[in-house]
Amino acid sequence: MSTQHNPAASQPQKRSGQFKQRLLKLILFCGFFILFIFLLASQDSRTAANHKPWHRDLTIAAFEPDGSFLALPYSYVQQYTLANTTFLAKKPDGSKQKNDNDTFSYKVIEQNAQQQLIRTSLRTSRSITIATYQATAGTVTPIKSTVYTIDQISMAAVLALVSVLLLQLIYRFIRRRSFRNKTN
């Protein structure tokens, strides 16, 4: 009685192994993608300490007596005095549409006496700008601004793909070298 090898029986195991490899590559790609987006945005982050000019889209909330607010570029707030407005929020958070497609929101992070730490977010079709600033009734002092752009997403995708491919090459090299050492 002879035993014959059935190639069809090994197919499900091979497909399962390929699926696991592809799933691992996808998970690695997603992890690297998120990491690189964070790193690219962090590298471009602006703070008072790093002396880079503030992002153009750094936006400040200016509050009117009725509690409504305006979303104003920081450059505008620096140049002009605003009558009948304050930079202190009455409500802990708020949001509004700006220029039809853009969305602006603010959130009071911390409040003491006559100061507030406020975080704002301006979402446009091309970027998201997150800013943190210290506000008093009449002044604004930026602390940090970070921008996430379409360009960063593209660059992060390329860097993630290259990283996964490099890991794959390194893994194959180590496996081949290990196999050669076992056969010798």
86 DSSP assignment: B
The pTM of this model reads 0.74
Contact 122, 71 (CB under 8 A): yes
The predicted-structure confidence for 35-67, as pLDDT tens digits, reads as follows: 999 999 888 889 888 888 888 889 999 999 988
Q: Tell me the pLDDT of the chain averaged across its residues.
A: 88
Contact 103, 111 (CB under 8 A): no
- Asked if residue 146 has pLDDT above 90, the reply is yes
Q: What is the pLDDT of residue 150?
A: 87
Structure confidence by residue, pLDDT tens digits, 94-140: 999 977 789 999 999 999 989 999 999 999 988 999 999 999 999 99
Q: Which of 83, 63, 77 is nearest to 139 (CA)?
A: 77
Helix (H) or strand (E) holding 167: helix 150-183
Contact between residue 28 and residue 115 where contact means Cβ atoms under 8 Å apart: no
pLDDT of 9 > 70? The answer is no
Question: What CA–CA distance (Å, rounded) separates 37 from 153?
Answer: 6
Cα separation, 101 vs 122, in Å, equals: 11
Rounded mean pLDDT, 3-16: 60
Across the chain, which distance is largest between two alpha carbons, in Å? Answer: 100
Task: For residue 103, give the nearest of 124, 119, 127, 133 by alpha carbon.
Answer: 124
